[in-house]
Amino acid sequence: MRRPDGRDGQRHLHVAAVTLRHSEDPTVNRRRLIEMTRSILQDHPETRLVAFAELALGWYWHVDKKGLPFPESVRQSTEYHRRIAEPVPGPTTKAMGEVARELGVFISYGFTEAESYRIFNSQALISPDGHVIDVRRKSRLITPMFSPGANAVRCVDVDGARVLTIICADTRRLSTLLAIRRLRPDLIIHSILDREEKTTHEQLLAPFLRSWMVVPNRFGWEHPTGKRRPYSGMTCICSPHGRVAVGHVGSEYVLTYAIPIRRRPRAVYRPFLWLFSLLSFAARLLASVPAWLVQFVEHMRLDRGQRRARL
């Protein structure tokens, strides 16, 4: 395996975060993911990890007309996800595994996973030997279309870096954040489907979790009826200090960056790291309160609609 080193001896992990428009047809999306991976490796042969967004093989919402009641929207979308769900291993893990083996690259992508009678909102990570080394199932669900996954998190080795995968709203559960912080990953793949255009949430999380964050997203309308507003395409790579190293919003795009793999600090310095992280977290928390209040009101509306759907 290639392990790129800088001239100063610092090891780097070259990553790519991808924002795409997605079709309702998983076959079309699978082909686009493969074509995009080949294109990235052709333009940036040093890339070792390619990350695609949450549910990259299809749409999130799938309804036949605009203005449907929330329970009916959930029912139609659930039926759609049951139709496109795949097991692990399945046709996409096989196809992406072949590409990963051919190009010698790690690939992360979101999909609807089928297991028995349940479906999950999952993110797979495939190694350069073509094997699935991690499957994260979303545990913090905003809508009742999927079964919740386990709340436990884990790191896997990617060229000597400790990499952890998490999906969108999973970061809104404190127990999950504390578990991630204890694991101290070098890099977090935060796969999202988000309409927000600002990176406030990621800039707040990265210092608290003390990790680099790679955030792939999607862009555009999911369907002609247009639910609420289009996905913004906000994609970014954030440093552990909360700085956006590279970012983009408003179109399909590929972000590439060489992430330095840190040496583990000695125990004597940990109190200072904790103090710096705590102060940084507190400052960014205060700065992000207005944006969080808007998101809280929006999620309360969704939760109210979810409760009505269950009645």
Categorize the per-residue pLDDT at 196 as very low, low, confident or very high, splitting at 50, 70 and 90: confident
Buried b (16+ CB within 10 A) or exposed e, 260-274: ebeeeeeeeeeeeee
Residue 185: per-residue pLDDT: 93
Residue 55: per-residue pLDDT: 92
Q: Is the peptide bond before 89 cis (omega within 30 degrees of 0)?
A: yes
Flag whether 154 is in a domain: yes
131-145, 186-200, 244-258, 266-280: lowest mean pLDDT where?
A: 266-280
Flag whether 127 is in a domain: yes
Task: Give percent above pLDDT 90 in the chain.
Answer: 49
Flag whether 2 is in a domain: no
Q: Which residue has the higher pLDDT, 72 or 296?
A: 72
Flag whether 101 is in a domain: yes
CATH code for the domain in which residue 117 is found: 3.60.110.10
Host domain of residue 36: 12-261+271-310
2-6, 216-220, 247-251: lowest mean pLDDT where?
A: 2-6
Query: pLDDT tens digits for 54-103?
Result: 999 999 888 777 777 778 888 888 899 999 999 999 999 999 999 999 99
Would you say residue 267 has pLDDT above 70?
no
Task: Give percent above pLDDT 70 in the chain.
Answer: 79
How many domains does one find in the chain? 1
Query: pLDDT tens digits for 13-28?
Result: 999 999 998 888 999 9
CA–chain centroid gap for 153, Å, is: 14
Flag whether 240 is in a domain: yes
Phi-psi region of 55 (alpha: psi -120 to 50; beta: other; left: phi over 0): left
In this prediction the pTM is 0.81
Flag whether 5 is in a domain: no
The CA dihedral of 192, 15, 185, 244, to the nearest 10 degrees, is -70
Flag whether 1 is in a domain: no
Flag whether 181 is in a domain: yes
Query: pLDDT tens digits for 96-129?
Result: 999 999 999 999 999 999 998 899 999 999 999 9
